Amino acid sequence: VKLLRLATDPAWSETSRRDLAALLSDHLHCERKAAENALSLVRRYAARPALVARLTRLAHEETSHLVQMAALLEERGLSLRADTPNHYARALLAEVRPNEPERLVDALLCAAFIEARSHERLSLLAEAFGRDGDPTLADFYAALASAEDRHAEIYVELAQDAMPAAEVAARLEVLAAREAAIIAALPHASRVH
């Protein structure tokens, strides 16, 4: 799926790799929050069998990414840092409307944008680590990037189960513009977003 309106500024990948421990720590916490968010949707929408089936599997995959991130930190002799507020995700989730079914659809579409942006940024990191001459990190990031692309698709499909496709498409337009504005205003740092 092609969700993003705005490509990441090329200068971001330089800043992001300046502090590897900070970047890998933030990335580990992103995987953790991705799993937690999927599981909290399973709790809230337990009456939707397709959502439960797909998001439990997605959460399982995110926790496997979490295991891989923890192993990578250990391999590199880096210690995990505390989580810091994610202004990107917070600003996006502030767009979620309060009443059902809009609340569900918006939560799913915001998750789709976070996955799509993560896919873009992990792909940029894969390329940058390749240029740095670190094929282990390049391959690692390329593998994770392709998983996040599938996740974005799953969230969009689940939104289409909850609301007519035309309404989902209209909402995607609004959120795409908002996501582009949020990412453009975000300072560059050694973190995923």
Residues that bind Fe ion (CB under 5 A): 31, 34, 62, 65, 115, 148, 151
What minimum distance in Å lies between the beta carbon of 151 and Fe ion? 4
Give dist(CA 75, CA 88) in Å, integer.
29
Closer by beta carbon to Fe ion, 34 or else 158: 34
Of residues 191, 181, 184, 186, the one with CA closest to residue 27:
191
What minimum distance in Å lies between the beta carbon of 166 and Fe ion? 27
- Token pair in block for residue 37: 């968010």
What phi and psi, each to the nearest 5 degrees, are found at residue 19?
-125, 95
- What DSSP designation does 107 have? H
Closer by beta carbon to Fe ion, 106 or else 115: 115
Closer by beta carbon to Fe ion, 38 or else 163: 38
| Residue whose pair of structure tokens reads 């990190």 in the numeric block | 137
What minimum distance in Å lies between the beta carbon of 16 and Fe ion? 17
Polymer length of the chain:
193
- Find the angle CA(117)-CA(119)-CA(121) to the nearest 5 degrees: 70
Closer by beta carbon to Fe ion, 31 or else 120: 31
Query: Which residue sits closest to Fe ion, CB atoms considered?
Result: 151
What minimum distance in Å lies between the beta carbon of 171 and Fe ion? 21
Of residues 68, 4, 13, 7, the one with CA closest to residue 35:
68
Contacts (Cβ under 8 Å, ≥6 apart) of 45: 51, 52, 104
Closer by beta carbon to Fe ion, 14 or else 152: 152
Contact present, 115 and 148 (Cβ < 8 Å)? yes
What minimum distance in Å lies between the beta carbon of 147 and Fe ion? 6
